[in-house]
């Protein structure tokens, strides 16, 4: 590990906001340097409360996060915000809409906001979001909000990152409750009906509460509260902050916190493994590997000579052969004995 990585990691753990900003740039850019930094900081994580905030575009997620951050600061907590913005079609970077809406928090040293681009990631969460949360955790931020890009029903990815999921609904955006039925309803630990001063807000609150009573669950299971709020007016924010704290207390006393942490770790490791395989698929020795007829595997599929499923299985067999010989590890900057050194000898 380079001295540069060790120095930056030490500065981040020491609470330097400048070092944190630099580290976040590293992890968003990716590469071996970012991986080394994440590995150095990982033992310092696991202390922050991580709240995922999701909901339809236009539901006021950024304004709500801003209001919750102000309440948290008034309660003496330090706050980190990872705002996942859509990618600009021109630069590929974050459009920074969320950052603009939280601009008044920028002068508070106890709040650190970072906008990150999705860069085409499915589910509204960019690849570097988990690493960014780790960096803020290691830097001592006691509460970290992860605000998703807001693509409605696809936002279930947030439950693979956050301990508590807050789903924001708003009247006037169509049949909100119908959209929630498709999966987001089940992932919410706290429901917020924002812009509650609008017509129809009371109806949405009542419908959500009625729907939640229809979900079978043991008596000791957490019942997600449905809370009305108007974030733009800073109304109803304190009860939401109390509900977030109450959910964390429930997770700890019920043992669910450790189960969620294991679920999050499992999902994250699998996602990283999938990304490594995808990089190999798109690489020069991946799906472009010449087949028996001198054509690439993809060309054979395009000519209807090879079915897509058969192509995928052939490629997985190639990965297996390369892994046995250490080629796959070397392709990703590892030596074949690295896995044995990190994970111990194989069991029989």
Segment 258-269, tens digit of pLDDT: 999 999 999 889
What distance in Å separates the CA atoms of residue 110 and residue 218, rounded to the nearest whole number?
Answer: 39
The confidence band for 48, taking pLDDT boundaries of 50, 70 and 90, is: very high
Q: How many Cβ atoms are within 10 Å of 125's Cβ, its own excluded?
A: 26
What distance in Å separates the CA atoms of residue 118 and residue 121, rounded to the nearest whole number?
Answer: 5
pLDDT > 70 in the chain, percent = 74
For residue 73, what are the contacts with CB-CB under 8 A and spacing of at least 6? 79, 108, 110, 111
pLDDT tens for 89-118 read 333 444 454 455 567 787 899 999 998 876
Please list the residues that pair with 191 across neighbouring strands: 167, 226
**Residue 56: what pLDDT?**
81
Of residues 19 and 59, more confidence is placed in 19
The stretch 287-309 carries a mean pLDDT of 74
Query: Coil, strand or helix: which one is 139?
Result: coil
pLDDT tens for 124-168 read 466 789 999 999 999 999 999 999 876 543 466 788 889 999 999
**Residue 5: what pLDDT?**
96
In the chain, alpha helices (H): 3-13, 17-29, 32-41, 61-74, 97-101, 129-138, 176-180, 184-187, 201-213, 237-254, 256-282, 297-302, 308-324, 327-331, 338-343
**What is the overall mean pLDDT for the chain?**
81
Q: What is the largest CA-CA distance in the chain?
A: 69
**Residue 123: what pLDDT?**
43
The stretch 306-317 carries a mean pLDDT of 87
The stretch 281-307 carries a mean pLDDT of 70
Say if CB 205 and CB 193 are below 8 A apart: yes
Say if CB 106 and CB 13 are below 8 A apart: no
């Amino acid at each position: 590990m380079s001295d540069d990585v060790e120095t930056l990691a030490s500065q981040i753990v020491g609470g330097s906001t400048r070092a944190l900003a630099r580290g976040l740039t590293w992890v968003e850019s990716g590469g071996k340097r970012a991986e080394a930094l994440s590995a150095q900081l990982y033992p310092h994580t696991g202390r922050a409360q991580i709240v995922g905030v999701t909901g339809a575009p236009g539901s006021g997620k950024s304004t709500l996060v801003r209001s919750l951050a102000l309440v948290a600061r008034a309660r003496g907590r330090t706050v980190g915000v990872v705002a996942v913005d859509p990618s600009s079609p021109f630069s590929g970077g974050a459009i920074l809409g969320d950052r603009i809406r939280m601009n008044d928090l920028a002068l508070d040293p106890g709040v650190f906001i970072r906008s990150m681009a999705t860069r085409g990631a499915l589910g509204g969460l960019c690849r570097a979001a988990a690493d960014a949360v780790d960096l803020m955790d290691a830097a001592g931020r006691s509460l970290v909000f992860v605000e998703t890009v807001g693509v409605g029903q696809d936002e279930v990815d947030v439950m693979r990152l956050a301990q508590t999921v807050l789903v924001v609904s708003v009247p006037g955006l169509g049949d909100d409750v119908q959209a929630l039925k498709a999966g987001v309803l089940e992932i919410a630990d706290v429901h917020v009906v924002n812009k509650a001063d609008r017509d129809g807000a009371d109806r949405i609150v009542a419908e959500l509460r009625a729907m939640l009573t229809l979900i079978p669950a043991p008596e000791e299971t957490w019942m997600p509260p449905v809370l009305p709020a108007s974030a733009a007016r800073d109304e109803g924010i304190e009860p939401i902050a109390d509900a977030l704290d109450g959910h964390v207390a429930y997770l700890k006393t019920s043992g669910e916190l450790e189960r969620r942490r294991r679920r999050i770790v499992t999902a994250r490791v699998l996602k990283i493994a999938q990304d490594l395989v995808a990089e190999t698929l798109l690489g020069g020795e991946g799906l472009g590997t010449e087949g028996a007829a001198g054509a690439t595997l993809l060309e054979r599929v395009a000519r209807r000579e090879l079915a897509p499923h058969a192509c995928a299985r052939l490629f997985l067999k190639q990965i297996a052969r390369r892994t046995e010989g250490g080629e796959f590890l070397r392709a990703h900057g590892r030596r074949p004995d690295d896995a044995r050194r990190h994970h111990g000898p194989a069991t029989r």
